[in-house]
Amino acid sequence: MTRPRRTSDVGTALARFNALRHGVTSTAPVIPGVESAEEWEAHREAVAAALAPQGAIESILAERIALLAWRIQRVARYECSAIAAGRERVEFDYARSKERTDDPPTVAEAENRLEDARRCLKVIESLLETPPDTPLASIDAEKILEDLADSADELVEDLLEGIEAAEPGGLWTSGRLVAVFEAIAARDGDVFAELLGTAIARGRTIARGWELEVARIGDEIDRMRDERLLPEAATLDRLIRYEGSLNRMLYQALNQLEATQSRRTGAPTALHRIQAFGLPGG
C-alpha cells in the first residue's frame, strides 16, 4: 500500500522541478505583451504541486505537461481574439459590400440622411407659418424641390434657372421657397395648397423610408455579427487541428508520467487505458 504523501514530499518535488529552470527549460514560454512570466511561474508551480514529480524524468514530463497545458490555454485565447476581430470588422465589411451600390454604407450615413429628411420635412410643414425672411440652407431648399420634382409631371430645373437669373446669388429664404412653389403651381395649373400638401406627403414618405433603412442596416449588421460567433472556416479548422495535436501530446505525457510514477511506487499500471493517437504517419 502506498504511504500517504506528506507535505514535505510536495515541497521536495517543487524544489526539484524548479531546478530545471536553470537547464534547457530556463526560458519562460511567455509571449511579451500577452502573457507574463509571473503567470507562467504560477501555472508551472500549480502543475508541479498537482503532479508531484520526483527525479529528473518525472520532472521533465511534468514540465512538458505544464507547457502543453499552457499552450492549450493560448488556443482558447486565440479563438476569442479571432472571433472578436471578425465581429469588429462587420461594419467595414458591410460598407465594402455597398461600395458599388446607392445604398448607404453605414448606419451613421443612413442616420445622417434620415436627419436631413426630417429637417427638410420640418421646413415644409412649417413653411406657411415661418416669416418670409427666415434664412434656409441652400442644400435643404434644393433637396425639397428635387424631392418634389420626383413626384411632379415635369422637373423644375428650368424654373430654378429662371429664378437664379432674376436673383443672381440670392439666398434661400422661406419667402423665396414659397414663391417657387407658387410658380410651379401656376405653371402646372395646380392649386398651391395641394402642391404643398404633395410636398409634405412626399417628405414624410422619404423620412419614413430612411427610418426603415436605418433599422434594416442595423438588423443586417447584427445578423452579420451573430454569424461571426465562430471563427471563419479556415481559422476554425486550423484551431481544431492544432488543439487536437496539443491534446494528444498532453494525454501522452500524462500517461507516461503516470506509468513512470507507478513503476517507482510499485503500483500496478492501468492496462485498460485506450489511447487514440493514430498510427505513425497517420
pLDDT score of 160:
61
Would you say residue 206 has pLDDT above 80? yes
By three-state DSSP, how is residue 173 classified?
strand
User: Dmax over Cα atoms in the chain, in whole Å?
Assistant: 112
Residue 108 near residue 101 (C-beta atoms within 8 A): no
Q: Lowest-confidence range among 46-55, 89-98, 171-180, 263-272?
A: 263-272
CB atoms within 10 A of CB 244: 11
Distance CA 65, CA 77 (A): 19
pLDDT tier at 255, thresholds 50, 70, 90: very high
Instruction: Please report which residue ranges of the chain form alpha helices under DSSP H.
Output: 7-19, 37-51, 55-88, 90-97, 107-125, 138-151, 157-166, 174-188, 192-227, 233-265
pTM, rounded to two decimals: 0.64
pLDDT above 90 (res 209): yes
CA dihedral 207, 212, 214, 217 (to 10 degrees): -150
The C-alpha cell at 76 is 482558447
Span 231-251, average pLDDT: 95
| Of the listed ranges 68-72, 99-103, 123-127, the one predicted with least confidence | 99-103
CA-to-CA distance for 41 and 18, rounded, in angstroms?
10
| pLDDT for the residue 176 | 87
**51: buried, middle or exposed (CB in 10 Å: 19+, 13-18, 0-12)?**
buried
Q: Which residues make beta-bridge pairs with 173? A: 135
Mean pLDDT estimate for the chain:
83
* Percent of the chain whose predicted confidence (pLDDT) is above 70: 78
Closest by CA to 216, choosing from 56, 80, 79, 107, is 107
The one-letter code for the residue type at 86 is G
pLDDT band at 16 (very low <50, low <70, confident <90, very high): low
Q: Which of 18, 209, 249 has its CA nearest to residue 114?
A: 209
- Taking alpha carbons only, the member of 45, 46, 43, 51 closest to residue 72 is 43
Please indicate whether residue 10 or residue 282 has the higher confidence score (pLDDT): 10
Residue 268 scores a pLDDT above 80: no
Mean pLDDT to the nearest integer, 261-273: 73
> For residue 263, what is its C-alpha cell?
513503476
Question: How much is the pLDDT for 278?
Answer: 42
DSSP structural state of residue 228 = T
Question: How far is residue 94's CA from residue 101's CA, in Å, rounded to a whole number?
Answer: 12
CA separation for the pair 118, 207 (Å, rounded): 6
Q: Tell which wins on pLDDT, 248 or 157.
A: 248
Name the β-bridge partners of 135.
Answer: 173
Q: Is 135 helix (H, G, I), strand (E, B) or coil?
A: strand
